[in-house]
A and B are shown apart, each in its own frame.
Chain A
Amino acid sequence: MPAFDLREFLLLAPEILLAIGGLALLLAGSVGRGVPGRVAASLSLFFLVATALLVLTVEEVGPEPRLILGSSFVLDGFARFFKLVILAGTALTVLISVRFVDDGAYRAGEYHALLLLATTGMMFMVGGFNLVSIWIALELMALSSYILAGYFKRETRSNEAALKYFVLGALSSAILLYGASLLYGATGELRLDLLAAALPEAMVTGRLLVPTGWLMLSVGLLFKVAAVPFHVWTPDVYVGAPTPVTAYLAAASKTASFAILVRIFVQGLPTLLPDWQIVIAAVASVTMIWGNLAALTQTNVKRMLAYSSIAHAGYVLLGLLAASVIGLWSVAFYLLAYTFITLGAFAMVVVLERREYAGEEVSDYAGLARRAPWLAAAMLVFLLALTGIPPTGGFVGKVYLFAAAVEAGWTWVAVIGVLTSAISLYYYFSIAVQMYLKESTRDTPEPLGSPALTAAIATCVVATLVLGLFPGPFIEFAQAAGLPLP
Chain B
Amino acid sequence: MILAFRSYALPILPAICSRVLGYLPILVFCVVAVLFLAGTLLAARLLRHAGSGATDREPYECGNEPESFAHDHRFSIRYYLLAVLFVIFDVETVFLFPWAVMFDQLALFGFIEMMVFLTILVVGYVYVWNRGALSWA
Contacts and interface: CB of A to CB of B under 8 A. Distances in A.
Q: Do chains A and B touch in the complex (CB under 8 A)?
A: yes
Interface in A196-225: 207-208, 211-212, 215
Interface stretch (B19-27, B34-42, B91-99): B19-27
B112 A6 contact: yes
A175 to B, nearest CB: 14
B15 A208 contact: no
B134 interface: no
Contacts, number: 45
B16 interface: yes
Interface stretch (B46-54, B65-73, B78-86, B122-130): B122-130
A31 interface: yes
B26 A208 contact: yes
Given A412-B4, A412-B8, A211 B23 contact: yes
B108 A1 contact: no
A295 interface: no
Contact of A27 (B8, B112, B126): B126
B5 A208 contact: no
Interface string A408-431: 011110010000000000000000
Interface string A1-26: 10010100000000000000001001
B88 to A, nearest CB: 12
B120 A23 contact: yes
B19 A27 contact: no
Interface string A124-164: 00000000000000000000000000000000000000000
B16 to A, nearest CB: 6
B19 A30 contact: no
B1 A415 contact: yes
Interface in A386-435: 409-412, 415
Interface in B89-115: 105, 108-109, 112
Interface residues of B, number: 23
Contacts of A207: 25
A469 interface: no
For chain A, the bracket of interface size reads 20 to 34
Given A23-B120, A31-B130, A208-B26, A278 B8 contact: no
B128 to A, nearest CB: 8
A403 B16 CA distance: 23
A278 B5 CA distance: 15
A63 interface: no
A1 B102 CA distance: 11
A62 interface: no
A412 B126 CA distance: 58
Contacts of A212: 26
A30 B130 contact: yes
Contacts of A1: 105
Nearest to A19: B120
Interface string A258-279: 0000000000000000110010
Contacts of B23: 211, 215
Interface string B9-23: 100000110011011
Contacts of B45: none
Scoring A30, A208, A410 by chain B CB atoms within 10 A of each residue's CB, the highest score goes to A30
A409 B8 contact: yes
Contacts of A4: 109
B127 A275 contact: no
Nearest to B4: A411
A26 B9 contact: no
B8 A26 contact: no
Contacts of A278: 16, 19-20
Contact of B127 (A27, A208, A411, A415): A27
Nearest to A22: B123
Contacts of A411: 4-5, 8
B94 to A, nearest CB: 14
A432 B123 CA distance: 49
Given A411-B8, A412-B9, A27 B123 contact: yes
Contacts of A215: 23, 26
Contacts of B1: 412, 415
Contacts of A27: 123, 126-127, 130
Interface in A226-277: 274-275
Interface of A: 1, 4, 6, 23, 26-27, 30-31, 207-208, 211-212, 215, 274-275, 278, 409-412, 415
Q: Give 7 closest A-B pairs by Cβ, nearest first.
A: A30-B130, A4-B109, A30-B127, A411-B4, A23-B123, A409-B8, A30-B131
